[in-house]
Structure 1
Amino acid sequence: MKANGGLPTLAASTVRTAHRDVTDRLREAIVSGLLPAGTHLVQADLAAQLQVSVTPIREALRDLESQGLVDVDPFRGATVHKVSLAELEEVYALRRLLVPMAIRERVQTITDEELDEAGILVRRMTLTSPDAEWVENNRRLHRLLDGTSNQPHLRAILRRLADVSALYVGLSVHNDPARRRRARDDHRAMVKAYRARDADAVIAITLNHINDTATVAAHALQEDAD
């Protein structure tokens, strides 16, 4: 549901907290473009639209700031993060360097149950699912596959990079109709290579996948700049 044609209203939940619900809805609105880059995020207005108190809004904005999706200035307040070609190049250069390190450890520690969960996420990422839903499942999938249990600092860095990357993944699937199909094939191949415990294959597939996203997103940014 949406309030006054704007953000989705907060659904009743006996499991998830209002804080988690608000964070998910704001992330969805940012990634989908419902809240465009540079939008000033007024806590009272968001609370009214999502039909919650200001407290979960404040907590959600803090979380989204840590994920790189919201920028907070002591004078201007919170705004939706603006993507840029320079940031894209930096984020994806770091991912190219660090993801192979994580994969070499992860291929040894990932469980069959986790790979089953990864398979479920891959199947949820259909060619017709909403962009924001697809991007969120993609974020969860890569957190699961690229996460490293024995290297907590590396895991934290990669999660931060993956969170920021959600904006560029959104650009790629929105601007290239064939991107989802290629990503689907990559994801299936990744899970298969993980099941085979073939680190070299996982790294090769993942790097190709990362490069595809970066190329499509960069093209979209360059077109917007022209």
Structure 2
Amino acid sequence: MPLGQMRSGERPNLTAHAYVLQRMRQAILDGELPAGARLIQAELAHQFDVSITPVREALRDLAGEGLVVFDPHRGSRVRSFDLGEVREIYELRMALEPLMVGRMIGKVSPERLDEAERLMKRMTRTRDIGLWSDLNRQFHACFAEDDRASRLATILGGLRDSASTYVGLSLRASPERRAESDREHAEILEHYRDGDTENATRVAVQHMRTTLVTIEEAHEQGLL
């Protein structure tokens, strides 16, 4: 499928920047743009039928999410798989997430929890790995959104964005992991609604640990 075409087959009613950003994120997360692929702005602009500016802005945003890296000699490319980096990202998330859960239990607004539930339901319906990965990122962000100005939320948000591409890799390598993740999401949301700090922390950390193990096993089997 050409990069300029969305999964639905129709270009959504978005700005050029938002459209290119959404489509490129989708292509990276589902493997259509593989790790290490060079991203040449002029070629991308031609494929999307837009000017260079929205492509440049989208690449900058994707770099901020950790999906794209800039090489001063070779230009932009999709971030390559790095098991050491994956482990560090998830170890940091597992260490910091209990702090965020303890801070936010009982403080996340009902509207934010309802938004998390809507995202969770969309995840269970879609078959698109790239879309699922992006919805997953948004789902977890809901629980920190009301504290988004804090240093802790900023750090965790960066780690979560950096983990997105690896989440997609884990699902492609182990499709059965997705159903398990959907169940864990439902548990996390339920514990937040109940104000259950202990179990929300337990499931959130286990959720991340299982994803990391899935990635490590796929790497050992040569799938990544």
TM-score tier by shorter-chain length is over 0.9
Which of 4, 13, 18 is the matching residue for 1:8? 4
How far apart are 1:151 and its partner, in Å?
A: 5.5
Q: 2:44, 2:55 within 8 Å by CA — same for their partners in 1?
A: yes
2:147 is paired with a residue of what secondary structure?
Answer: coil
- DSSP-derived class of the 1:71 partner: strand
Choose from 51, 54, 59 the match for 1:53. Answer: 51
Shift of 1:45: 0.4
Show the counterpart of 2:219. Answer: 221
Aligned residue among 113, 116, 127 for 1:115:
113
TM-score (norm 2): 0.92
Which residue of structure 2 aligns with residue 212 of structure 1? 210
1:36 partnered with 2:34? yes
Q: Deviations over 1:160-192 (max 9, x none)?
A: 111111111112211222211111111111111
What are the Cα deviations for residues 81-104 of structure 1, in whole angstroms up to 9, with x where unaligned? 012110111000100111111111
C-alpha change, 1:145 and 1:48, in structure 2 (3 Å) is: same
List per-residue Cα deviations over 1:33-58 (Å, max 9, x = no partner): 11001111000000011111100000
1:159 and 2:157 aligned: yes
Q: Distance in 1 between matches of 2:185 and 2:4?
A: 29
Q: Deviations over 1:3-62 (max 9, x none)?
A: xx421337252xx42212211111111111110011110000000111111000001111
What is the CA-CA distance between 1:205 and the residue it aligns to?
0.5
**What is the RMSD computed on CA atoms of the aligned residues?**
1.7
**Percentage of identical aligned residues:** 37
TM-score normalized with structure 1 length: 0.92
CA distance in 1 between counterparts of 2:174 and 2:223 reads: 17
3-state SS of the aligned residue for 2:124? coil
Aligned twin of 2:97? 99
Structure with the greater relative contact order (CA < 8 A, sep ≥ 6): 1 or 2? Answer: 2
Deviation, 1:127, is: 6.2
**Distance in 2 of aligned mates of 1:93 and 1:165:** 11
Give me the whole-angstrom Cα distance separating, in 2, the residues matched to 1:73 and 1:6. Answer: 25
Contact 2:45-2:55 at 8 Å conserved across structures: yes
Asked if structure 2 preserves the Cα contact closer than 8 Å seen for 1:105 and 1:148, the reply is: no
Unaligned runs of 5+ in 2: none
- Greater mean deviation of Cα atoms: 208-217 or 144-153: 144-153
Q: 1:169 to 1:150 in 2, by over 3 A?
A: closer
